[in-house]
Amino acid sequence: MESYSLTNKEQTKADRLKQKEISECGTIPEHIAIIMDGNGRWAKGKGNVRVYGHKAGVDSVRDITEACAQLGVKYLTLYAFSTENWGRPSNEVNALIKLLVHTLRTEADKLHENNIKLSTIGQIERFPNRCQEELLDAIQLTKDNDRMQLCLALSYSGRWDITEAVKKMGEKIKNGELDPEEIDDKLIDEHLSTARIPDPDLIIRTSGEYRLSNFLLWQLAYSELFITNTFWPEFRRDELYQAILSFQLRERRYGKIDKGHTGSFTNKIINHITS
């Protein structure tokens, strides 16, 4: 396994063993997506302002990113700021932007040293110039890295993504470059902001909310869900391991039937029902 340096901590022997066990237990999800929720409530519970929770949440991002890279996850998509989050009080929005800029500035080199490629989905152009520049610099610096892709969903919403894809296809139809009959799942995939990224295998949501909050609506069609009550600033690699172990126990049927069923068994039931 490759070395790390995102958390500035040496990996313990116990953690290395846990990762080995997980890898031997089953498939490591190729793509994990996370709705990082509960920063505000976590801070409030500690008698602090919401921004304190966002700041603490960065430590979780570091730990989870490092653990995913060590485990061999190929894509990690983090919901960091939704389209709807622009509706929060301006002091919170400004603090989040400041935190993003600061984090990019201090972490970009470490991502690069760890061979991690940074990318984004969402309306980046809605962010102030200094923030866009910081993002583009980090994306440019890490563009050839191939150990893992860390994709930040920023000013993102699933409905926005689908709307943009529809607009792009509509434009092509208008220009005579696309026949509506050619539109299928694959073509829609190719027009989404996640084109070239496989659908998430596992989606994790922290803070006990049972909703998607406009995250990857199209892409999550067959993703496995893992919801925990833990607030994001307290979500660390040990719980990530639980989520992966839970994922490994699932049978992904994609609407088909489980592999244990034989034709003769089904025939018996049909005979029973129709007799």
Contact flag: residue 79 with ligand IPE (CB under 6 A): yes
Count Cα neighbours of 186 within 13 Å in the Cβ-side half-sphere.
2
Distance (Å) of CA 180 to CA 168, 187, 193: 12, 11, 20
Handedness of CA 145, 30, 159, 127 (dihedral sign): negative
Which residues from 94-123 bind ligand IPE, rule CB under 6 A? 96
Least Å from the CB of residue 112 to ligand IPE: 25
Contact flag: residue 158 with ligand IPE (CB under 6 A): no
Contact flag: residue 35 with ligand IPE (CB under 6 A): yes
Binding partner selected for residue 75 from Mg ion, ligand IPE, none, CB under the kind-specific 5 to 8 Å limit: none
232: its two tokens: 């994001």
* Contact call for residues 252 and 222 (beta carbons, < 8 A): yes
What b-and-e string marks burial along 93-121, b requiring 16 or more CB atoms within 10 Å of the CB? eebbbebbbebbeebbebbbebebbbbbb
Span near ligand IPE by CB under 6 A; candidates 12-20, 79-87, 162-170, 260-268: 79-87
Q: Is 175 a catalytic residue?
A: no
| Residue corresponding to tokens 């040990």 | 238
List the one residue from 11, 23, 123, 213 that touches ligand IPE (CB under 6 A): 213
Span near ligand IPE by CB under 6 A; candidates 62-70, 75-83, 125-133, 236-244: 75-83
Binding partner selected for residue 21 from Mg ion, ligand IPE, none, CB under the kind-specific 5 to 8 Å limit: none
Q: By beta-carbon distance, which residue lies closest to ligand IPE?
A: 40
Task: Count other C-beta atoms under 10 Å from residue 131's C-beta.
Answer: 17
List the one residue from 28, 33, 34, 37 that touches Mg ion (CB under 5 A): 37
| Residue corresponding to tokens 């191939």 | 146
Binding partner selected for residue 209 from ligand IPE, Mg ion, none, CB under the kind-specific 5 to 8 Å limit: ligand IPE
Q: Is 85 a catalytic residue?
A: yes
Task: Count other C-beta atoms under 10 Å from residue 259's C-beta.
Answer: 8
| Residue corresponding to tokens 């923030």 | 131
Contact flag: residue 224 with Mg ion (CB under 5 A): no
Contact flag: residue 77 with ligand IPE (CB under 6 A): no
Please give the positions annotated as active site.
Answer: 37, 85
List residues binding ligand IPE (CB under 6 A): 35-41, 79-82, 84-85, 96, 207, 209, 211, 213
